[in-house]
Amino acid sequence: MSFQIPRGTQDILPEQAAKWQYIERIARELCRRYNYQEIRTPIFEHTELFLRGVGDTTDIVQKEMYTFEDRGGRSLTLRPEGTAAVVRSFVENKMYGYPNQPVKLYYMGPMFRYERPQAGRFRQFVQFGVEALGSNDPAIDAEVIALAMDIYRSLGLKKLKLVINSLGDVESRKAHRQALIDHFQPRIHEFCDDCQARLHKNPMRILDCKKDRDHELMRTAPSILDYLNEQSRTYFEKVQMYLQKLGIAFEVDPRLVRGLDYYNHTAFEIMSEAEGFGAITTLCGGGRYNGLVQEIGGPETPGIGFALSIERLLAALEAEGISLPISEGIDCYVVALGEQAKEEAVALVAALRQEGIAAEKDYQDRKVKAQLKAADRLHAAYVAILGEDELQKGVINVKHMATGEQQEVSLDIFVSHMKNVLQ
């Protein structure tokens, strides 16, 4: 019987894993500069967390969650997104009491959604995200957006578009909600079953429908921007002002909704405009969620964050023809000739590795020519050749592969010599 990988998942092979590691390093370093600290939450949580935190009118909750019962009859769900779990941890561990506020966190790890696999979209995918909890300052909205943009720019992406919107506060949302109901209700029978179910539960989610996005009522639907009260309008203007001060170009799109129920005030998406990237252009999405902490059982605490898919980031890099500056190859390959030399090579390779040098040797009893070919395939910077004659003389021949320059080095100083030449 042969086994195949489950649909919607992927193996990340060694040659690809190096790209992932590079991206993760960039993201972690930028978080360090922005003073965001890493948090790691479980891969599965109680299902109720996502019902309350993500929203029971969302596609994620209604159609895409991997939910199961454990042996104790408890309903558990593989996490479909990261924010709800981070906020749960924030509440459970009383981070709202930390002396340094806001609490600025980032996470990175696999998420799971049962959706139709397509280019750049998987049922198991990796998200990187940040959450800033505890500040109502519009400047931190701009900071969160700037961090997301910095990640993409640091990796060389140029064909990016930032789109922002305001979803308003509770009062603004309430007025807009009624306007949407009045707008869609006379012809709601022309929409899909999901939209019909959402009309009175969460009519703004109709604007995010993929099936009916070309319906004429979508184009004429009331804009949230026309229903912002003075406080919400002022807040949104300040976010835009801060983005301008940071030199970040943006477009205001009153149709931008985002797919999760917990958003209010600022909402944003970063899209790729690279030719051939595909129909789904969104790379990153986020926004403010001032009521989520209370919904999950904590005190009134404002929050804002974003999440991005590593898979879609890689696809955007490919679309723009960007090669990451990944260092390939090892520092030194030790070629051994004869039994005594092979025994000595084991110790030499171990000593090199102890000094932080990437080293390798032959483990298949190959001839010299085959070992040299192996060193070449591994892109070894140096090859050190040790035979019986060299052992008797207490030396080893070190060859620089790029120049062909070769020199005889005493075995006693071989490791220190390699450290010097590599530096």
Whether 215 shows a pLDDT value over 90: the answer reads no
Whether 61 shows a pLDDT value over 70: the answer reads yes
Instruction: Identify the pLDDT of residue 18.
Output: 92
Whether 40 shows a pLDDT value over 80: the answer reads yes
Q: pLDDT category, 371, cuts 50, 70, 90?
A: very high
Greatest CA separation for the chain: 95
Structural tokens at position 413 = 């100083």
The response to whether 300 counts as a known ligand-binding position is no
Q: pLDDT category, 188, cuts 50, 70, 90?
A: confident
The response to whether 258 counts as a known ligand-binding position is yes
- Assess contact for 16 and 318: CB atoms under 8 A: no
Q: What is the rounded CA–CA span in Å between residue 144 and residue 129?
A: 10
Q: What is the rounded CA–CA span in Å between residue 79 and residue 298?
A: 20
Q: How many CB atoms lie within 10 A of CB 107?
A: 21
**DSSP characters for 68-99?**
EE-TTS-EEEE-S-SHHHHHHHHHHTTGGG-S
Which residue in this structure is represented by tokens 């996490």? 79
The response to whether 262 counts as a known ligand-binding position is yes
Higher pLDDT, 119 or 400: 400
Instruction: Identify the pLDDT of residue 380.
Output: 95
Mean predicted confidence (pLDDT) in 186-195: 86
Structural tokens at position 343 = 């025994």
Mean predicted confidence (pLDDT) in 97-120: 90
Q: To the nearest whole percent, how much of the chain has pLDDT over 70?
A: 97
Which residue in this structure is represented by tokens 């298949």? 364
Mean predicted confidence (pLDDT) in 168-183: 87
The response to whether 67 counts as a known ligand-binding position is no
Q: What is the rounded CA–CA span in Å between residue 23 and residue 373?
A: 31
Expressed in angstroms, the distance from the first to the final Cα of the chain is 51
Q: pLDDT category, 214, cuts 50, 70, 90?
A: confident
Whether 112 shows a pLDDT value over 60: the answer reads yes
Give the residue extent of every domain in the chain: 14-169+229-319, 332-422
Q: State pLDDT tens for residues 296-340.
A: 999 999 999 999 999 999 999 999 999 998 878 999 999 999 999
Q: What is the rounded CA–CA span in Å between residue 233 and residue 225?
A: 8
Instruction: Identify the pLDDT of residue 421.
Output: 92
Instruction: Identify the pLDDT of residue 62.
Output: 76
Which of 114-128, 218-232, 302-316 has the lowest average pLDDT?
114-128
Classify burial at 408, counting beta carbons within 10 Å of its beta carbon; exposed 0-12, middle 13-18, buried 19 or more.
exposed
The response to whether 156 counts as a known ligand-binding position is no
Which of 99-108, 172-181, 350-359, 371-380 has the lowest average pLDDT?
172-181
Q: pLDDT category, 163, cuts 50, 70, 90?
A: very high
Quote the CATH superfamily of domain 14-169+229-319: Bira Bifunctional Protein; Domain 2 (3.30.930.10)
Mean predicted confidence (pLDDT) in 189-215: 83
Look at the chain and count its residues: 423
Whether 259 shows a pLDDT value over 60: the answer reads no
Which CATH fold would you assign to the domain 332-422? Rossmann fold (3.40.50)
The response to whether 113 counts as a known ligand-binding position is yes
Structural tokens at position 282 = 């969104």
Instruction: Identify the pLDDT of residue 219.
Output: 85
Whether 168 shows a pLDDT value over 70: the answer reads yes
Whether the predicted model's global pTM rises above the 0.95 cut: no
> Residues 6 or more apart from 161 whose CB is under 8 A from it?
251, 270, 271, 272, 273
Instruction: Identify the pLDDT of residue 262.
Output: 63
- Which residues is 124 bridged to in the sheet? 112
Provide the residue type at 351 as one letter: A
Q: What is the rounded CA–CA span in Å between residue 205 and residue 260?
A: 8
Instruction: Identify the pLDDT of residue 120.
Output: 66
Q: State pLDDT tens for residues 14-27.
A: 989 999 999 999 99
Mean predicted confidence (pLDDT) in 132-161: 97
Whether 10 shows a pLDDT value over 80: the answer reads yes
The response to whether 66 counts as a known ligand-binding position is no
Whether 260 shows a pLDDT value over 60: the answer reads no
Instruction: Identify the pLDDT of residue 261.
Output: 57
Instruction: Identify the pLDDT of residue 115.
Output: 82
- Assess contact for 199 and 185: CB atoms under 8 A: yes
Q: Is the dihedral of CA 98, 101, 102, 107 positive or negative?
A: negative
Q: What is the rounded CA–CA span in Å between residue 85 and residue 42?
A: 8
CA distances in angstroms from 140 to 98, 179, 354, 412, listed in the order given? 18, 31, 44, 57
Q: What mean pLDDT value characterizes the chain?
A: 91
The response to whether 16 counts as a known ligand-binding position is no
